[in-house]
Structures are given as structure tokens and as C-alpha cells.
Amino acid sequence: MGAGHGHRLHFHGHSPVHRAPAHVKLLVLLGFVLTVVATPREWYAAYAVFLVVLLGVIAVARVPYGYLAKRMVVEVPFVVFAVLMPFVATGPRTEVLGVSVSEAGLLAAWALLAKGTLGVLASLTLAATTEPTAVLAGLQRLRMPELLVQIMGFMIRYLDVVTSEMGRMMTSMRSRGCEPRSPRHWPALARSLGALFIRSYERGERVHLAMVSRGYTGRLPEAVRTTGESA
């Protein structure tokens, strides 16, 4: 299927991990995350095993570690929260590098950090080895409600359209001497985001119009999704 085209999370390749059916990968990811979450936080060795397994899968997939590391930034808010925990939690205290921190907080921070990192890394691996459309097809096969799959499909399709629309609005703001990053111009930024919302809403109506014009009756025909699969 499709050649390498730049979805920001997808890393093009032909490894066994890339080729595995999407629904299998989704189930494996779900199982892995549930296992990680259910593992008691004092079983430090188990976490090491999880990490080794995950890194092994990534190695087989031949996705560069650096590629995933850069995308790990989504975890930053959780990291900040985890780092704060030893300082704000109560209970018996202990010394780490000369700083007094809460013992329970330290343990909670470790659990949050370990489980979060493993979960994010595993999800990124799925995203890097599976095309967004394949993820959708996988969800479909796993009997995810049709409506939700359709909504996610539209999201993937129009993410780029809306993002580039926003980019053009930002450019035009900058061209008129407004710097969207500066707090002084946040009111203008908020108004343009509101305009973006209205525009997207109107686009939704036009898309629906175009669908109805081609005989849409509220259900996406099964044949549309499977077309070309036999070919």
C-alpha cells in the first residue's frame, strides 16, 4: 500500500513490524499497556524487562531511536508533574542528593514516569510502524463503532487542511505586524482561532453537501473501504 508520504508520526519501512496486521498490533499495544499499568510499582526488574522487550521491537522495526525520542516530548507535562510529586507529597521523608523529599512521592513519581514512558513509547512505535489509515482499518476489524471510525477518518483527512489554514492565518497576522506568540496579541490570536473553528464548521457543512450530492444516506458503504484490496 501507499508510498512514503510524510505523516509526522509514521516512519516508512518494510520490517515485519510494519507488515504485521494493524488489528494485531493494536491488540498487542493494548495488552502491553494494560500489563505495564497493572504491574506493582515495586517490581523494578519487571519494568526493565518491559523496556528491553519494547526496545527489541523498535530495533526489529528499524525505527531510529532518535526519531522516537524527539516525539517523546508529548510526555513532558507528565514528567513535570512527576518531578514535582516528591516535593509536594507528605509522609516519611528521605534524603536524595542532599534534598529532603517524600518517600511515597518518590515512589509515585517513579511509577508515573516508568508507566507513562513505556506507554508513550509503545504508542509511538505503533504510530511509526502503521499508517493512520491502517490503524483505522484495524479498529474497524476490532468492531469499533462505525461512527467513531468515520469521525477519526475525517480527522486524519482534514488535520492537514485545517493546520495549513491556521498556518496561513498566522502568516497573515504576522504580515500585519501582530506576533501571535506575544501575550499582548493573545486576544487577536483567540479571535483568529474562533474564526478557524467557524471555518472548519462551515467546511464540515460543505463536505456533507458534497457527500449528499453523491448519494450519501448516512452510512459509509462497506464497499468503499474494501475497494482495491482485492486488486
Partner 1 sequence: MTTPVLDVHGLAYAYPDGHQALFGVDLHVHRGERVALLGPNGAGKTTLVLHLNGILTGGAGSVAVSGLPVTKANLQEIRRRVGIVFQDPDDQLFMASVRQDVAFGPANLGLRGAELDRRVMAALDRVGMADFADRPPHHLSFGQRRRVAVATVLAMEPEILVLDEPSSNLDPASRRELADILRSLDVTVLMVTHDLPYALELCPRSVVLSGGAVVADGPTYDVLTDDELMRANRLELPFGFDPRTTRLAPPTG
> At residue 59, what is the residue type?
A
In contact, 86 and 75? CB cutoff 8 Å: no
| Interface with partner 1, residue 160, by CB under 8 A | yes
- Residue closer to partner 1 (CB basis): 190 or 212: 212
In contact, 29 and 121? CB cutoff 8 Å: no
Instruction: Pick from 105, 119, 138, 153 the residue near partner 1 by CB under 8 A.
Output: 153
In contact, 125 and 58? CB cutoff 8 Å: yes
| Interface with partner 1, residue 207, by CB under 8 A | yes
3-state secondary structure of 100: strand
- Residue closer to partner 1 (CB basis): 175 or 217: 217
| Interface with partner 1, residue 174, by CB under 8 A | no
In contact, 117 and 78? CB cutoff 8 Å: no
Q: How far is the CB of 144 from partner 1 (least distance, A)?
A: 16
Q: How far is the CB of 209 from partner 1 (least distance, A)?
A: 6
| Interface with partner 1, residue 172, by CB under 8 A | no
| Interface with partner 1, residue 156, by CB under 8 A | yes
Q: And the C-alpha cell for 11?
A: 516512519
| Interface with partner 1, residue 201, by CB under 8 A | no
| Interface with partner 1, residue 5, by CB under 8 A | yes
- Residue closer to partner 1 (CB basis): 71 or 131: 131
CA atoms within 13 A on the CB side of 186: 3
- Those residues with Cβ within 8 angstroms of residue 34's Cβ, 6 or more apart along the chain or in another chain: none
CA atoms within 13 A on the CB side of 116: 17
Stretch that binds partner 1, among 55-63, 94-102, 156-164, 193-201 (CB under 8 A): 156-164
Instruction: Pick from 49, 161, 193, 195 the residue near partner 1 by CB under 8 A.
Output: 161
Rounded-to-integer distance, Cα 124 and Cα 101, Å: 32
- Characterise 143 by phi-psi region: left (phi > 0), alpha (psi -120 to 50), beta (else): left
Point out which residues bind partner 1 (CB under 8 A). Answer: 1-3, 5, 132-133, 136, 153-154, 156-158, 160-161, 203, 206-207, 209-217, 220-221, 223-225, 227-228, 230-231
